[in-house]
Amino acid sequence: MATIEGGIAVAVKKINVGPRAKKDFENEVNLITNVRHRNLILQLGWCIHEPELLLVLEYMPRGSLDKFLWGEKKGTLNWKQRSDIILGIARGLVHLHSESHVKIIHRDIKSSNILLDENFQPKIADFGLARLYLEDQTHVSTRFAGTMGYTSPEYATRGHLSEKVDTYSFGIVALEVISGQSCSDVKYSGPRMEYLLEHAWQLYEKGIHNKLVDEAIDPNEYLEENVMNIIEIALMCTQLAALRPTMSEVYLMLSSEPKLEQRQMSKPTFIDANRRIYKVGR
């Protein structure tokens, strides 16, 4: 954190100079300079001060979302705050994909890249890996860059990049927000181990996915119908790319009255930090 003229607190992101770092820095500056949205971090300025690259951003006093899910502030978010965070992340992605002057794919949506303001409203940050996306392309092929556990199978294994990559990551983050668990944490169920996505799917198949909710949340704070609807939407986001909704569709479903209907979904695939592929429900 730093203070600029007028006593305004700002965040300063420092990047050590290197061929790749400088490229990512220039990419981040160019992409978000003209992007303005309440759910996207605001860039205030930048400079190159050898041997560092400096990016000046608005200061988020609450820090990153992951600290509230499994870090030092674990269990302190209530249900209203969590549902608002999920909706806010979706809204920010809608702007990147559909409303910005160019379509932008973030490529690294994860809980540590979601910052919270003083009112716990989320802002998507860290655009160093973001890429432009041309409207007439179904996907582009590119070398993988992102975080295993959050990234979609088609991108991690084949380099197929489309806006649906962000949709998959959003679904994983939404499950983390609801459960208070990291996607890379392992649960043991009998002789098998389960990651968060598989655990959520197993509960969904049994019709008891409301049990995914973080035990730190007071059950009187939410309606089970609403929770189950959001979990189902999150699982829809982890389907095969062709079956995933767009973020505009996701936002519409999240902001509408819950409609628990029989949704046709297939078992999703999860890729862990070691690039091992798990077919959920194997």
Pairing of β 192-195 and β 186-189 = antiparallel
> How large is the C-alpha radius of gyration of the chain?
19
Encode 111-164 in three state secondary structure: HHHEEECCCCCEEECCCCCCEEECCCCCCEECCCCCCCCCCCHHHHHHCEECCH
Active site residue 108: yes
Cβ-Cβ contacts under 8 Å for 161 (sequence gap 6 or more): 105, 107, 131, 133, 139, 140, 141, 142, 155
Pairing of β 2-4 and β 8-16 = antiparallel
Instruction: Point out the catalytic residue in the list 108, 126, 166, 214.
Output: 108
Report H helices in 9-151.
Answer: 19-32, 66-69, 79-94
Pairing of β 8-16 and β 52-58 = antiparallel
Structure tokens at 24: 């990512």
The residues that are catalytic are 108
